[in-house]
């Protein structure tokens, strides 16, 4: 992504000044704004798609950090609102531009659904995490910090490496799943968090059995 263009903040406070698109060296007329960066229509299209795509991959590949959820939600609504507004603007009547704006709207809405599905259960689920290897076996009682369709983030005091295999066992149902460690890091409270993805249990959290709409 292009670096933020130099914006003169000399004396003027007004955002309505005729700033041009922040993607250098574009000098296009500002039509939208993402992340406080003014953008022309063309760059709104490419920047939005890029942002949505990178977050979609993240949401798919690993447990999405709950701290990122709010920012993601804001981005989605900002993309959707502006895409909608621009699509109704006569100046964007060009079929190609319009199709891409509608594509952004569609993606934003699909991502919103995945995000809700993925972030729905941020509550902790009590579990055992086990390592079952010959000569090296341990088990600890823990809880999840994030759940996603394909995995979870959880607190783990034992040292496990990225790429390692563990067994997760739900305390409530006794169900087990084999999982691969996809990340390890310390959270803001100094606890080791690991992210895992399931190898043989696609719907360990019963997402598909949960209602699509929560009560308001
Ligand atoms: Zn531009």
> Sorting pLDDT into bands at 50, 70 and 90, what band is 117?
low
- Average pLDDT over the chain reads 81
pLDDT for residue 169 is more than 70: yes
- pLDDT for the residue 9: 43
Task: Compute how many other C-beta atoms are within 10 angstroms of the C-beta atom of residue 147.
Answer: 25
Output the CA 122–ligand 1 centroid distance in Å.
38
Considering its fold, how many domains does the chain have in total?
2
Q: Which of the listed residues 88, 119, 150 is the one where a domain comes to its end? A: 119
Output the CA 27–ligand 1 centroid distance in Å.
6
Q: What is the largest CA-CA distance in the chain?
A: 70
DSSP H helices in 32-154: 41-61, 66-88, 95-119
Q: Average of pLDDT values for 162-191? A: 89
> What is the domain range of residue 77?
32-119
Output the CA 105–ligand 1 centroid distance in Å.
20
Query: Do the domain assignments include residue 192?
Result: yes
- 61 shares a domain with 115: yes
> Considering only 19-23, 116-120, 169-173, which range has the smallest mean pLDDT?
116-120
- 133 shares a domain with 99: no
Query: Do the domain assignments include residue 8?
Result: no
Query: Do the domain assignments include residue 22?
Result: no
- 134 shares a domain with 95: no
- 114 shares a domain with 132: no
Output the CA 82–ligand 1 centroid distance in Å.
15
- 96 shares a domain with 57: yes
Q: Average of pLDDT values for 41-48? A: 96
HSE at residue 178, side-chain half, CA atoms within 13 A, is: 7
Query: Do the domain assignments include residue 216?
Result: no
Residues sharing a CB contact under 8 Å with residue 123, sequence separation 6 or more, in sequence order: none
Output the CA 34–ligand 1 centroid distance in Å.
12
> Sorting pLDDT into bands at 50, 70 and 90, what band is 163?
very high
Query: Of 19, 18, 25, 28, which Cα lies nearest the Cα of 3?
Result: 25
- 105 shares a domain with 40: yes
Output the CA 181–ligand 1 centroid distance in Å.
41
| Bond from prior residue into 8 cis (ω within 30 degrees of 0) | no
Q: Which of the listed residues 119, 146, 170 is the one where a domain comes to its end? A: 119
Output the CA 132–ligand 1 centroid distance in Å.
55
Q: Average of pLDDT values for 34-45? A: 94
The CATH number of residue 203's host domain is: 2.40.10.220
> Sorting pLDDT into bands at 50, 70 and 90, what band is 141?
very high
Query: Do the domain assignments include residue 214?
Result: no
- 133 shares a domain with 97: no
Output the CA 43–ligand 1 centroid distance in Å.
5
- pLDDT for the residue 206: 76
- pLDDT for the residue 183: 92
Judge if pTM exceeds 0.85. Answer: no
- 56 shares a domain with 36: yes
Output the CA 93–ligand 1 centroid distance in Å.
18
Greater confidence, 210 or 192? 192
- pLDDT for the residue 51: 93
Output the CA 19–ligand 1 centroid distance in Å.
11
- 93 shares a domain with 146: no
pLDDT in tens, 20-31: 999 989 989 999
Output the CA 46–ligand 1 centroid distance in Å.
9
Output the CA 61–ligand 1 centroid distance in Å.
31
pLDDT for residue 120 is more than 50: no
Output the CA 209–ligand 1 centroid distance in Å.
45
Greater confidence, 154 or 134? 154
- 184 shares a domain with 141: yes
- 106 shares a domain with 49: yes
- 107 shares a domain with 80: yes
Greater confidence, 158 or 146? 158
Q: Which of the listed residues 77, 104, 119 is the one where a domain comes to its end? A: 119
Ion ligand 1: residues, CB within 5 A, are: 21, 23, 26, 28, 40, 43
Query: Do the domain assignments include residue 113?
Result: yes
């Amino acid at each position: 992504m292009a670096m933020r263009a130099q914006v003169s903040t000399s004396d003027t406070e007004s955002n309505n000044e005729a700033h041009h698109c922040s993607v250098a060296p574009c000098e296009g007329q500002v039509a939208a704004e993402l992340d406080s960066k003014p953008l022309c229509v063309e760059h709104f299209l490419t920047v939005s798609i890029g942002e949505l795509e990178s977050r979609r991959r993240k949401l798919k590949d690993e447990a999405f950090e709950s701290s990122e959820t709010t920012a993601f939600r804001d981005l989605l609504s900002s993309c959707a609102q502006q895409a909608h507004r621009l699509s109704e603007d006569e100046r964007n009547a060009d079929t190609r531009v319009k199709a891409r704006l509608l594509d952004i709207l569609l993606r934003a809405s699909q991502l919103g659904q995945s995000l809700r599905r993925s972030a729905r259960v941020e509550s902790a689920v009590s579990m055992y995490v086990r390592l079952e290897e010959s000569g090296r076996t341990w088990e600890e009682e823990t809880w999840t910090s994030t759940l996603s369709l394909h995995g979870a983030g959880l607190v783990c005091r034992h040292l496990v490496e990225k790429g390692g295999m563990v067994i997760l066992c739900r305390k409530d149902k006794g169900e087990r799943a084999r999982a691969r460690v996809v990340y390890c890091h310390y959270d803001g409270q100094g606890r080791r968090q690991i992210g895992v993805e399931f190898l043989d249990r696609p719907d360990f959290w019963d997402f598909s059995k949960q209602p699509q709409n929560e009560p308001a």
